[in-house]
Chains A and B, each alone.
Chain A
Amino acid sequence: MTNVASNVIKEKLVNLKTTIPIAFKILFSNSFYIAMVGVVSTIFWIFFNSFDQLLFFSPIISFYLPDDAIPGFILTNITSILMGILVAMNVHVIRNSKIKLDKSLLSGSILGIASSACASCSSLGFLVISIFGRFGTIATDLLTNYQIPLRIISICILLWALYSVQNRITKRCILDDVFVNRQRENSHHHPQ
């Protein structure tokens, strides 16, 4: 039983070695998607760093990275880049697939976006406090105290969402490939 499970995992990992480069090649061969990754990543980078009090717009525009902020900064950079790739891949799937989008794609990307956005919830503590009072204080305490683990969880969710989206991109290619090969075979067997 464990052998079967480990074989399945091994097979999936081997598949990933092939499918991930294909998915990235498809995405980054088009300048529109490269621009989209850049724009979305930048928007989220600004969003996260403003809430983390590393990027300021007033009284002067300044960026500031003290030692204690480095682990959080690394995690938000990863999140921002993943967000950019994820959104671009989703848009690619929407534009190119003829199949009906199912719930897993939606939950993958939306959950990813929501969770990563929530990683900076702690910085919104004052808003939550003013809206929800004492209950809000407890909620923001949790978000502030567990900021780093929450960010790691959000990255894991994003990676999972990315895995499911790249599967959709590459599966379509593989299906297309199979379709083309079958057509070729058919044309060999039944020359017109």
Chain B
Amino acid sequence: MNKSVFVFILVVILTISVITTIGVDVTGVNNFKTVFAQIQARQSDVALSNLIKQGQPYQGSKSSPVSLIMFGDFQCHDCDRFVKYTEPQINSTYVKTGKVALVFVHIPNKGFDSWPAALAAQCTNDQGKFWQFHKLLYNNQGPIDSGWVSIPNLKKFAFQISGLNMQEFTSCFDNQKYKALAEHDLALAHAFGFTNSPSFIVTKSDGSNPQKIEGAQPFIAFKTVIDKELGA
């Protein structure tokens, strides 16, 4: 093996790794002009009143000045990390104090079972039980497509939620009532350039001045953006 060939391969590998690292964070996350144009074009889509009208699950006050929109998947491990470590801090600091409304938008693309999980969760929202179901699924999260959110298991999870009308839920779930909504959610996520979950938009309640946050980031990252949006 020629020495120069070896050195060349080594340099190529190192260069690729450096470019990929920079690329992920500069091209993927901060491709600001393109993303900003997409966000401006869809400002009305992320207005809190519109999201609630469409049937997106939310927590907090309808009159919150700022919305935090989470694009999540029930099979996504990093979403689980966000729900367990960061969401409680956001809840106590901003949601319960009426400053921020937390809205959930589905991006069911981690595996084959992500789709039925999203549809089932949306059906529980009909009866005001989305956040309980959401917590239950994340607390029981298993490996991707291992069957933990298979259709029978989703029904079993729903059965565990006290006060949920199972007949209503089953009818909604079996008829894929929210298939169109889930498709709309996925299209919305893609319109913002999100392909991975969890991803977030922090915006004023009318959908203006949207700011992107990608990944299960620590509370301080959310605090920085939310405080700026609140004008604090």
Contacts and interface: CB of A to CB of B under 8 A. Distances in A.
Contacts, number: 103
Given A58-B25, A59-B224, A101-B1, A64 B17 contact: no
B17 A47 contact: yes
Contacts of A59: 211, 213, 221, 224-225
Main secondary structure of the interface of B (DSSP, over half): helix
Interface stretch (A24-32, A106-114, A149-157, A159-167): A106-114
A50 B21 contact: yes
B217 A109 contact: no
Nearest to B85: A66
A101 B3 contact: yes
B71 to A, nearest CB: 12
Contact of B1 (A51, A103, A114): A103
Nearest to B20: A47
Nearest to A52: B78
Interface in B10-43: 10, 13-14, 17-18, 20-21, 24-26, 29-30
B14 A43 contact: yes
A62 interface: yes
Contacts of B30: 58
B221 A40 contact: no
A112 to B, nearest CB: 10
Chain B CB within 10 A, most for which of A51, A109, A144: A144
Contacts of B103: none
A94 B20 contact: no
B9 interface: yes
B144 interface: yes
Interface stretch (B55-63, B104-112, B167-175, B176-184): B104-112
Interface residues of B, number: 44
A4 B204 CA distance: 75
Interface stretch (A12-20, A124-132, A170-178): A124-132
Contact of A58 (B29, B109, B145): B29
Contacts of B2: 101
A60 interface: yes
B97 interface: no
B129 interface: no
A137 B111 contact: yes
A106 B24 contact: no
Given A60-B224, A69-B81, A106 B6 contact: yes
Contacts of B14: 40, 43, 87
B1 A100 contact: yes
Interface in A33-67: 40, 43-44, 46-47, 50-51, 53, 56-60, 62, 64, 66
Interface string B191-213: 00001100000000000000101
Chain B CB within 10 A, most for which of A40, A91, A138, A145: A145
Contacts of B216: 53
Nearest to A130: B195
Nearest to A103: B1
Given A47-B21, A50-B25, A137-B111, A56 B215 contact: yes
A145 B6 contact: no
A105 B13 CA distance: 16
Contacts of A144: 77, 143-144
Contacts of A141: 111, 143-145
A150 to B, nearest CB: 13
Contacts of A125: 110, 196
A91 B13 CA distance: 14
A134 B214 CA distance: 24
Interface of B: 1-3, 6-7, 9-10, 13-14, 17-18, 20-21, 24-26, 29-30, 77-78, 81, 84-85, 109-112, 143-146, 195-196, 211, 213-218, 220-221, 224-225
7 contacts: A53-B217, A58-B214, A69-B81, A129-B195, A137-B145, A141-B143, A145-B146
